Amino acid sequence: MSPDGVARKSIDGETGLATEGEPVYGEPTADGWRLWDRSRSKLAVLLDREVETGLDDGSTVLYLGAASGTTVSHVADFAGPTYAVEFAPRPMRDLLDVAADRENLFPLLKDAREPESYAHVVEPVDVIVQDVAIRGQADVALANRQFLREDGRLVLSVKARSEDVTRDPEAVFEEVEERLAEGYEIEYAESLEPFHDDHLGVVATPE
């Protein structure tokens, strides 16, 4: 189910989920609401499907792979403290601009593979949202499990081509799920097509 701070709106002839906040990436807006583009956000696909992600108004969130802030800006529009980890300096500059309009959004120029580098900053969280396009995506989720509350959820977007561009995506997804099972119980795992090719959306709880 979608949080109360995420509503279905029709703006400029387009209908979809929307949040209230300052625009970030040229998305259609009206009366303070901004459409959440599913083709640019894996999380938006899951919320549009009404998958139980654990995200709610006021949730504490750790977002891994925040990039320029497209998706995490929507999250920060309705969530509570939102810690946004991004490794690359160039998108971090854009993310800082996004955070300037959102006092609950905390950008961290860190590597999600090294959670010890930000463990002194991040409090226990209700939800980890992970969109890190690197090899070893399950390992990143396991390494950051330490921040997740016992009743929290991991919302993971697995990009098959980042794991191994030569292998069949289904085989990659199966391998990632097996690795995740070493620390999580998977509640949902479905393709994110047609919006995101060769991506698997996963929701899991800590074991």
Residues at the annotated binding site for S-adenosyl-L-methionine?
70-71, 86-87, 111-112
Q: In what order do the strands lie in the sheet with 7-11?
A: 7-11, 14-20, 33-35, 29-30
CA dihedral 156, 159, 163, 164 (to 10 degrees): 160
Handedness of CA 177, 178, 182, 186 (dihedral sign): positive
Angle at which helix 70-78 crosses helix 89-100, to 10 degrees, equals: 30
Q: What is the DSSP letter of 40?
A: G
Which element (helix H / strand E) includes 156? strand 148-159
| Distance between CA atoms of residues 56 and 110, nearest Å | 25
Residue matched to tokens 């800006």:
73
Binding residues: 70-71, 86-87, 111-112
Residues in the chain: 207
Alpha helix positions (H), 26-159: 42-48, 70-78, 89-100, 137-143
